[in-house]
Amino acid sequence: MEDIRIDQIPHPKPVLVKSKLRALIDQGVYPPGSQLPAETKLADMLGVSRTTLREVLHLLEEDGVLLRRQGIGTYVRKTHSFVLSPLETSAPPSVIIRSAGANPGTRSIEIAEEQADVTAASRLSIEPGSVIVKMKKVRTADSVPVLYSIDMFEKSILGEEDVPLNIGESVANFIEEMCDKRAVHSECKVLPVVADNTLSKKLQVELHSPIFLIDTIEYDEGEHPLIYCLDYWVSDFVDFRITRRTYRETEDYNAT
């Protein structure tokens, strides 16, 4: 691939190298969805240092052109791979992932019974130490991890039934089918967090990378908390939006 090597210059600036690499992507040398060569090879092809190359890759990642995954590599984003998801609709992860033009998948599922800590107990309106069922799952888009979810509900709602090894994609659907309890609405908070060691490994992102946390409580028809959900989304895959109407001075306004 000698024809794509840029001219050697004494001190190539990242902005110049960025434009050269972006041109190669636009020309189809590296088409959407393809993986870039390893840093050492790509730096040599472009005639720059690895330090300069890393700065360039970071700039293109910020522009939404590249997608970098720890331990996997750097990829050219597919068209429409960045998806806007409305917060007013509780869409399943598979729907959100498909709306990005990607194929949803599941990398790992862990289901266990444990005692509720203070936070989980408060969110589910149960006593600390109560037995809960916790399901942890890593969801993928085209085999790349994009979501780490933790769903919790009180074990007692299952009655004498054992916790199955496979609950399925939707905990709400499982509870409705098994227990005849239906989640009718939810309240959620969107929180900016950074990847700790667990999230870094599960989502294969750099430590301290920005993550969207969707903290949700799903309520049953009696307004009792039914499911407590923590969804950790990779921030460069999905963004969340809300629709707001114009405030009128005649309206009561209570910020909570």
Position 84 scores a pLDDT of: 53
CATH number of the domain to which 22 belongs: 1.10.10.10
Closest CA to 163 of 123, 114, 216: 114
210, part of any domain? yes
Q: What is the pLDDT of residue 2?
A: 45
Assess if residue 250 is contained within a domain.
no
- With respect to residue 225, please indicate whether it lies within any of the assigned structural domains: yes
Q: Phi/psi at 10 (nearest 5 deg)?
A: -55, -50
141 and 162 in contact (C-beta within 8 Å)?
no
Could you tell me if residue 134 is inside a domain?
yes
Q: Which residues pair with 131 in a beta bridge?
A: 115
Look at residue 203 in the predicted model and tell me its pLDDT. 93
How far lies 176's CA from each of 30, 57, 167, 180, 227, in Å?
47, 46, 12, 5, 12
What are the contacts of 22-31 at 24+ separation with CB within 8 A?
Answer: 22/60, 22/65, 25/65, 25/76, 29/1, 29/4, 30/76, 31/76
Based on the domain organization, do 48 and 159 belong to the same domain? no
Residue 135 and residue 191 in one domain: yes
Residue type, 162: D
Q: Domain range for residue 35?
A: 2-76
Helices (H), the chain: 14-26, 39-46, 50-62, 93-99, 118-124, 171-179, 197-203
Tell me: do 138 and 28 sit in the same domain.
no
**Taking the chain (256 residues) in consecutive chunks of 10 residues, what is each chunk's mean pLDDT?**
46 75 86 88 89 87 77 73 59 82 87 94 95 94 92 89 74 84 87 94 91 92 92 84 65 56
Q: What is the pLDDT of residue 132?
A: 95
Residue 37: per-residue pLDDT: 92
Predicted confidence at residue 131, as pLDDT, reads 94
In a domain, 254, yes or no: no
pTM higher than 0.85 for the full model? Answer: no
d(CA 144, CA 237): 10
Considering the domain architecture, whether residues 44 and 165 belong to the same structural domain is answered as no
User: Does 179 share its domain with 59?
Assistant: no
Residue 193's CB: how many other CB atoms inside 10 A? 15
The domain boundary, picked from 61, 76, 91, lies at 76
Q: What strands lie across the sheet with 210-220, from one edge to the other?
A: 104-115, 131-141, 144-154, 225-234, 210-220, 183-194
- From residue 35, give the alpha-carbon distance in Å to each of 14, 20, 155, 240: 21, 17, 44, 27
**Measured between alpha carbons, how far is 219 from 125 in angstroms, rounded to an integer?**
11
251 lies in a domain? no
What are residue 17's DSSP bridge partners? Answer: none
Of 60, 76, 92, which residue constitutes the final position of a domain? 76
CB 171 within 8 A of CB 151: yes
Pair (204, 90) in one structural domain: yes
What pLDDT score was predicted for residue 218? 92
Please state the domain count of the chain. 2
What integer pLDDT is reported at residue 198 of this predicted model? 95
| Helix or strand (DSSP H, E) at 216 | strand 210-220
Number of Cβ atoms within 10 Å of the Cβ of 76:
19
β-strand 66-69 against 83-86: which pairing, if any? unpaired
